Each structure stands twice: as C-alpha cells, then as structure tokens.
Amino acid sequence: MKATLESKIPILPTHPAQKPPLEPLYRQVYRSLRQAILSGALPPQSKLPSSRELARTWGVARNTVLEALELLAAEGFLEMRPASGTYISATIKSEIQSKPQKVRPSPTPPLSEWAKRALEQKIEAKSSTPITIDFRMGNVPTSLFPAEEWAASLKVRSKDLRGLAGGYGQGLGPLETREALCEYLAKERGILATPDMVMLSSGSQGSLDMLARVFLEPGRSVVVEDPSYLGALQVFSASGAQVIPIPVDHEGLHIEHLVEKLVKGVPSSQIPALLYTTPSHHFPTGAVMSVQRRLELLEWAQNTGCWVIEDDYNSEFRFDGRPISALQALAPHLVIHLGTFSKSLAPALRAGYLVAPPELIETLSATRYLTDRQPPTLDSLALADFIRSGGFARHIKRARVQALERLSTLRAALTQHLPDWQIKSGGAGLHLYLELPPYLLEREVVARAYAAGIALEPLAKYAQRVPTNGVLLSFAHLEPAQIVQGIVGVAGALE
C-alpha cells in the first residue's frame, strides 16, 4: 500500500492561543504528526508527502519539517526508506491507534494508605478573601534577611562544589556546618553534641517526616501536647499511628496525665514510640516547661523507652532574659532535638537540623539516603560561614530588637482597645496567645474580624480534645502601624 495522504496531513496549530508557550515550530510539527499517527488518521505503512511538500503545506522551513521527521523516526513512528520516501512505521499497533486516547488508564492504581491519610490532613489553601491585616500563624518576618551576606557566601562557596569528591556531599550535611552548629548550640542552648550526632534537615518538617518514617506506622502511637503544632500532628496522623493528646497547662505538658494514661495497666507493646514536645516555648500557648516537669518527663521516657522529640522552634526569640537551656542538655541519650532557621532566617531556605543520640544516626542516615540523599551542600556551607563569622548572631540581635518593638506595640494596642483580652504569653516567640473573656466566643471573634478584613487564628485549630476560648496573633511580620490598625479593626468589628 503506497498511498500518499495529503488530505489527512494535520493542520498545524497556528493560532497563537493554541500554541503551548515557547514551543519551537519543529516541536509543533512533530506533535501534530505524532497525534495523527496515534489517532489512526495516518495508518501504518502509508507514505508521507515529501518534506518539501509538507513545508509548503504548512508554510514552514524545510529544515523544520526535517527536524520533526528525524525525531519521529528516532522514536519509531516513521521509517525513512532510502530512495523511496518516508512511511508511517508498520510496527505501530493498530489497536492503539483505533482506541480513543484516554488521559488516564482505567481503573487508576489505588493510592497508598499513606497518601490517603495525607490527603485527609486538609492542608489549608490560601484564602481568596481580601485580607488587610494578616495576624495568622505561618507569617514570618523576612524584611531583615541578610541578602548581601548570604549571596556573598554562596558566591565564595560555589567554588567548593568543583572540588567535591564524587559530586555528592555527605548524607548528614557538610562536617563544617555540623561543627559550626555544635559550637552554636553548646553556647546558646547548652546542647551536648558532637558533629556525628547532627543531621541537617529541610526544616523541622523534614526532621519530623524522617522521624515518623523511622518510628511510626499503623499499630504504633505517638504522644503530642494538646494543643499542638499542626505540622507535627499532620505528619504523625499521616503515618497511621495513633496520636495521643496530653493537655498542657502553664507549666507545660501535664506529666501526671501522661503517667496516668500510659503507664498504669498499659502493656509494653502499647508504649508510644515518640513523644513530641515544645518545652522552651509551648506551641501555641507559650508555656515554658518547668524544671520539675522536665525531670518527670525524662524519667518517664527513661522508664518506658519512648523517644522524646524536642521542637526548639523560636528559641532565638526570647525577650525576657537568656533562653532556657534545651531539654536535650539534661538527657542527650533520650531526646531528639529539632531546630529550624525558618523563623530566624527565612522559611524558604528550608534549613533545619536534628541532634539525635548516636545510636539513631545510622538509621536516620539510611532513611535520608533513600529520601533525598543529603541536604543541599552549597546552602549548608553558606550557613556554616554565616554562623562562624558572627553574621547569624548579629542578624538575630537585629531581628530580636525589631520583634520586641512590634510586640510592645501589640501589647499597648491590646491594652488600649481590647482590655478584656488576657495576654497569656509574650516572653518569647513571634506570636501572642490571648484568652478571650467569657462573653466572647473564639469562633465568632475570628469570623467577625475576618469579615472586617483582619485574619486571626482560633486556638481550637490546634486543639485535639481540650476546650479552648482563645486566639493567636502572629505579629513580627507586620509594621507597627499595621498592628495598631489590625487591633483597632478587631475592636471595631466586635462593637
């Protein structure tokens, strides 16, 4: 069969709106012909018009057509027969051609149980409602990000990538960065660690995900504070493990509840694998865990074998006196300490770390290797320089001054415009927790403020079982004038 198929030659998508942006012309020719072959419009073994004719038909250069034909031949759609012409390949199966092209195979492969649980976590979409002042959590002050210093360090360190043996870096992150972190953590947080106990991570979320992979699965359990950080709750729930909430009071995690619930009469197979806590500054109430509670918690962990995850977020932002030492400093053999540069530098860097007892490092490294091999070397080296040069300490000092100024503005505005709201935190961190007077309901307050273009968060968003009547105000990313405008706006919305 040697018919030529002029009438079946597809029309090129010439209308600019139809073109995928920036697709080269030869790609358009290629795609149009491939589609015509796959749909059966150009059947196997039929002969194509000459490249000259095709070029004329489409009004394109002959070279453009030749490029497309060569690509189709290389992929097996066409056969170029010397001294005869170009033919649609005989091996294109006719049943593929005759069947209508479907976007998805049917039935689609089922999602894994993990993916189904991940989808259930209701990751919040950004709202399209216009917001004038946004006090919601997750807003981070980035105006002071030391862009020039960071860029200079990246430039210098780029050359190091040339000398990197094997091209890849180290699984835990560059030794220099882990050494710099150990020095910093010993000085600022009283942490006892050697570089081989430190792994750089893509922020706290990366650390939490890794720990969940290593320790959690259906049939296991993890203890969390109630209320607690959503990033942790979500990754733990996605693991399929049972999440056990334990209430928090002004001294932090209520150990008595923990002991009551998890020691008396509980078989050892049901002892939780992990306990997640924010002892330096409870998320989101700001409570600092007392020394008594710390010791009780560690004793419980020692007796049960449960690993304690200490999330030390925001410890750089302490406004009244020096930061309290990390829990890890009391028991490096029981505690996995997590830190992040999301608040102190920028969340977009995705830079964090974990400090773990040495016996866990091999497992964590193996997990890391399968997940994403290693932390990004260049960013990690820039971080080492930034810490060692004193740049990080200087930056934190400036950021703390700015945050404190904004906190003072917020406190003054609250005292003046919402005097019945009780400020329950404020010694540290970049948000305030406020208890509402009994005549106000948190859901209603949030809804009325929202309608006035001001976004706050209800405490209930982070609670599992404990009753709540409070709101959270993230403030450090807002200018003082915006803070006042927001509080005046909330007061007005409640009148």
Residues forming the site for ligand PLP (CB under 6 A): 138, 203-205, 229, 231, 278, 283, 311, 313, 340, 342, 347, 352
User: Shortest Cβ contact with ligand PLP: which residue?
Assistant: 203
> Using only C-alpha atoms, what is the Rg of the chain?
30
> Kind of pairing, strands 78-81 and 85-88?
antiparallel
Hunting for tokens 């945050």 — which residue is that?
Answer: 403
Q: Residue 203 is which amino acid?
A: G
Question: CA angle, 211 as apex, 208 and 214 as ends, to 5°?
Answer: 150
Is 330 in contact with 439 (CB distance < 8 Å)? no
If the CB atoms of residues 87 and 317 are measured against ligand PLP, the closer one turns out to be 317
Pair of tokens at residue 113: 């149980």
If the CB atoms of residues 244 and 345 are measured against ligand PLP, the closer one turns out to be 345
Pair of tokens at residue 361: 């490092």
Question: Shortest gap between Cβ of 138 and ligand PLP (angstroms)?
Answer: 6
If the CB atoms of residues 58 and 341 are measured against ligand PLP, the closer one turns out to be 341
Q: Residue 286 is which amino acid?
A: G
CA atoms within 13 A on the CB side of 87: 16
If the CB atoms of residues 231 and 453 are measured against ligand PLP, the closer one turns out to be 231
Distance CA 103, CA 101 (A): 7
If the CB atoms of residues 41 and 466 are measured against ligand PLP, the closer one turns out to be 466
Question: Shortest gap between Cβ of 328 and ligand PLP (angstroms)?
Answer: 15
Q: Which of 251, 280, 284, 243 is nearest to 442 (CA)?
A: 284
Q: What is the largest CA-CA distance in the chain?
A: 92
- Reduce the DSSP state of residue 153 to 3 states and report it: helix
If the CB atoms of residues 168 and 319 are measured against ligand PLP, the closer one turns out to be 319
Question: Shortest gap between Cβ of 277 and ligand PLP (angstroms)?
Answer: 10
Distance CA 336, CA 341 (A): 17
If the CB atoms of residues 40 and 347 are measured against ligand PLP, the closer one turns out to be 347
Distance CA 365, CA 41 (A): 54
Q: Which of 45, 25, 28, 49 is nearest to 37 (CA)?
A: 45
- 328 burial level (CB within 10 Å; 0-12, 13-18, 19+): buried
455 forms beta bridges with 134
Question: Shortest gap between Cβ of 287 and ligand PLP (angstroms)?
Answer: 13
- Reduce the DSSP state of residue 346 to 3 states and report it: coil
Residue 239, phi then psi, degrees to nearest 5:
-70, -20
Question: Shortest gap between Cβ of 297 and ligand PLP (angstroms)?
Answer: 17
If the CB atoms of residues 28 and 204 are measured against ligand PLP, the closer one turns out to be 204
Question: Shortest gap between Cβ of 278 and ligand PLP (angstroms)?
Answer: 5
Is 309 in contact with 336 (CB distance < 8 Å)? yes
If the CB atoms of residues 413 and 478 are measured against ligand PLP, the closer one turns out to be 478
If the CB atoms of residues 33 and 210 are measured against ligand PLP, the closer one turns out to be 210
Hunting for tokens 């004329």 — which residue is that?
Answer: 56
- Alpha-carbon separation of residue 148 from 4, 31, 403 (angstroms): 64, 45, 21
Question: Shortest gap between Cβ of 400 and ligand PLP (angstroms)?
Answer: 17
- 174 burial level (CB within 10 Å; 0-12, 13-18, 19+): buried
Pair of tokens at residue 330: 């009391």
If the CB atoms of residues 406 and 477 are measured against ligand PLP, the closer one turns out to be 477
